[in-house]
């Protein structure tokens, strides 16, 4: 059957959660330094976040799937923000928004993963 | 039983084309055999599982909604549970029949 | 999760730092008219210098950076000149009738106070969001 295997899905769910955590950590650091002079706000690297996509286009060999989740997550300075008078680039509402969104992403992935576990566990228990 | 599966199928009007077949259990033994019905049930389980995987994947790359994924997961769970219950009942009925004195 | 606990540490450090800023702003405002301190001089405005706290941010166990915290590097006295106001009836007026007043502008202190309060609130929110994340992650183990 042509579809997404369970292992792929679990791997992708894990990655979504890891990225959500990274975003929260970055935002927490930014919020802590909202009043620090010369501090530049950081964000999760866009390229590493893109690896969330489950099925890379035209992936035919099973070996392709493992690379989707193995990229390290890194942070970079948020580009294009005009610093305030003290050199700080942290935008308070932006960071809070990011944290809330990341929390939502994490919740969705965690609930889906818990549901998959429950399904498998049921099959194991009742399939005797 | 066919209406229950029909209800599960109707529960989620998800964008994914579900190829689940409504399993029909023949009343008087005419028509599809038990084996065929069981095969249909297993296919339903597999299909609902694949649909759920697709829905979750869509949720992850933002091409689908969270609620669709959650509904698809629930459908997969219900289909599995229903199928297991049917299997249990069939096994029980078989054992009952085998115990009958000839 | 190690990096998440570093995030909570960062937010907690901000709570302490912003509270210091609030305390200093309040002290400045309260002493805006203090013409004679214990050293006989008018009150000199104080300023909080914040610096990023990168020492606790690197999570060596994971080999990657956690959240950057903040710390109060110093509380310094503002060296801006004192204000002078013509008020000959004031007990601390000099022979020409001028009083030397602290270099405090109450409206500036108010702005700092409000900013520090907002930052304090935001970091409180951050802590609760992270805590939610951790408890949801724990649910996976159930």
- Which residue would you say has higher pLDDT here, A123 or A49? A123
Confidence of residue C120 (pLDDT cuts 50, 70, 90): very high
Q: Is C11 helix (H, G, I), strand (E, B) or coil?
A: helix
Q: Which residues pair with A76 in a beta bridge?
A: A43
Q: pLDDT digits over B36-48, tens only?
A: 877 888 898 999 9
Q: pLDDT digits over C57-115, tens only?
A: 554 444 456 788 999 999 999 999 999 999 899 888 888 999 999 999 999 999 999 99
Instruction: Name the residue with tokens 């228990």.
Output: A125
> Angle A36-A42-A48 (CA atoms, 0-180°, nearest 5)?
165
Cβ contact (<8 Å) for C122 and A28? no
Supply the ipTM of this predicted assembly.
0.83
Measured between alpha carbons, how far is A56 from A49 in angstroms, rounded to an integer? 14
Q: Tokens standing for A81?
A: 């923000």
Is it the case that chain C and chain B have 3 or more CB pairs lying under 8 Å apart? no
pLDDT at B22: 45
Among C105, C17, C11, C122, residue whose Cα is nearest residue C57: C11
pLDDT at C48: 95
Please give, rounded to a whole number of angstroms, the shortest distance from the CA of B100 to a CA of chain A: 25
Q: Tokens standing for A86?
A: 């003290």
- Which residue would you say has higher pLDDT here, C31 or A73? C31
- Which residue would you say has higher pLDDT here, B48 or A70? B48
Cβ contact (<8 Å) for B60 and A13? yes
Instruction: Name the residue with tokens 């997404």.
Output: A4
Query: CA distances (Å), B31 to each of B34, C20, C58, in order?
Result: 9, 82, 69
Measured between alpha carbons, how far is A89 from B86 in angstroms, rounded to an integer? 62
Strands (E) across A42-117 are located at 42-44, 75-77
Cβ contact (<8 Å) for C67 and A26? yes
Confidence of residue A3 (pLDDT cuts 50, 70, 90): confident
Q: pLDDT digits over A93-103, tens only?
A: 999 999 999 99
Cβ B99 vs Cβ B78: under 8 Å: no
The set of chains that have 3 or more CB pairs under 8 A with B is A
Average pLDDT along chain A: 82
Query: CA distances (Å), A24 to each of A28, A51, A70, A85, B38, in order?
Result: 6, 18, 20, 26, 48
**Which distant-in-sequence residues (6+ apart) come within 8 Å of C126 by Cβ?**
A27, A28, A31, A32, A95, A96, A99, C7, C11
Q: pLDDT digits over A14-48, tens only?
A: 999 999 999 999 999 999 999 999 999 999 986 66
Residue A84 Rama label (left phi>0; alpha psi -120 to 50; beta)? beta
Q: pLDDT digits over B64-82, tens only?
A: 999 999 999 999 999 999 9
- Please list every residue in chain A whose beta carbon sits closer than 8 Å to the beta carbon of residue B76: 119
Cβ C10 vs Cβ A36: under 8 Å: no
Q: Which of A1, A53, A123 has the CB atom closest to B61's CB atom?
A: A53
Strands (E) across C10-86 are located at 46-53, 58-59, 64-65, 69-77, 83-86
């Amino acid at each position: 059957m042509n579809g997404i295997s369970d292992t792929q899905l679990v791997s992708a769910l894990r990655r979504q959660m890891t990225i959500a955590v990274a975003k929260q950590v970055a935002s927490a650091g930014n919020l802590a330094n909202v009043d620090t002079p010369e501090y530049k706000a950081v964000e999760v690297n866009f390229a590493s976040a893109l690896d969330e996509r489950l099925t890379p286009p035209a992936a035919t060999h099973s070996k392709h799937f493992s690379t989707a989740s193995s990229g390290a997550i890194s942070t970079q300075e948020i580009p294009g923000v005009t610093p305030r008078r003290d050199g700080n680039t942290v935008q308070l509402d932006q960071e809070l928004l990011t944290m809330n969104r990341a929390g939502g992403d994490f919740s969705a992935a965690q609930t889906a993963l818990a549901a998959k576990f429950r399904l498998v566990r049921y099959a194991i228990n009742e399939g005797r | 039983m066919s209406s229950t599966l029909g209800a599960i199928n109707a529960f989620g009007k998800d964008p994914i084309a579900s190829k689940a077949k409504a399993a029909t259990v023949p009343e008087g033994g005419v028509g599809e055999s038990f084996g065929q019905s069981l095969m249909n049930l297993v296919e339903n389980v597999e299909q609902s599982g694949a649909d759920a995987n697709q829905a979750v994947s869509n949720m992850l790359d933002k091409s689908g909604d969270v609620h669709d994924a959650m509904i698809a997961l629930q459908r997969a769970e219900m289909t599995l549970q229903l199928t297991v219950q049917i299997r249990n009942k069939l096994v029980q009925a078989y054992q009952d029949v085998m115990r009958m004195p000839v | 999760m190690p990096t998440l606990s570093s995030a909570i540490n960062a937010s907690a450090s901000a709570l302490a730092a912003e509270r210091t800023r609030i305390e200093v702003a309040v002290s400045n405002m309260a002493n805006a008219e203090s013409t004679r301190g214990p050293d006989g001089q008018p009150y000199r405005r104080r300023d909080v210098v914040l610096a990023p706290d990168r020492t606790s941010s690197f999570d060596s166990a994971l080999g990657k950076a956690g959240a950057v915290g903040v710390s109060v590097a110093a509380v310094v006295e503002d060296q801006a000149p004192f204000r002078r106001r013509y008020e000959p009836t004031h007990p601390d007026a000099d022979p020409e009738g001028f009083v030397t007043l602290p270099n405090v502008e109450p409206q500036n202190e108010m702005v700092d106070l409000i900013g520090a309060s907002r930052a304090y609130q935001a970091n409180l929110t951050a802590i609760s969001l992270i805590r939610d994340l951790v408890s949801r992650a724990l649910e996976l183990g159930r």
